[in-house]
Structure 1
């Protein structure tokens, strides 16, 4: 297998893991109603949410110090739809990390405009967030009903760019 083939296989495995973990998280902490509230899911997981004005290049952060509750920091100046995706993305980092080290300390800082393929952890968190907030079955159903991208973004309470990316990744654009 070549390096390129190994990378493709790794991306596929990460994508599958993100889908499975998002589905399990949604089942355990939310249910089936739309739109999905990632803030409620975070609280259900014991994650505290803090609003701050962040550097313009930062969209969110996840911090977990040993012995303390994990914390997601979101930019208070972002739109609610953008904040929803940020919180879901950070939950993805949390879910991925606690599977490896349930008691450890860790942190992630997410930068605006960073390329989607920057690393597998970021790819996982993006895929997790997309699958959590806009489940593939629901996207397929709304698409079959003839909903526009704007209407779907509103239905899932995510930003238009996030919905466009979601449709592209699901092969629906």
Structure 2
């Protein structure tokens, strides 16, 4: 993380080594050991604020879905999806906040939670276009294609799932 954030430390020891050196120092009171330990601890504290930036970087890279209402503050990371038969399933992992007991059932989808995750299952329709291509789709005001022959339309899949999760959880 430090390398990724461009942090270049002067000290050369790890936290574990710092503990071992402190044990040695407590026995022999070597001033060089004391200075090594203090430099390590100083740099830990000095760079702590910079290291907190990693959360913002991860939030951006992981496409975190933020839901904030009067009753709920939750940040979710969409995981991988799978389509089995005509059901699209995706698990959202908690990035920040607490997932409480959620059980939402709709005619075309369900959202359930366990301790740290939300699971969205969406029923898809299957059809063929004028060129006889097989399409799995969801009908939300308009048809949203999610799979075209053997190709997944990932942007559509994640956009649809995020829309459903945000719509349902924002109303809790």
TM-score class, shorter-chain normalisation, is under 0.3
Look at both structures and tell me which one has the larger radius of gyration over its CA atoms. Answer: 2
TM-score, structure 2 as length reference = 0.27
- Name whichever structure is richer in helix by fraction: 1
RCO higher in structure (CA 8 A, sep ≥6): 1
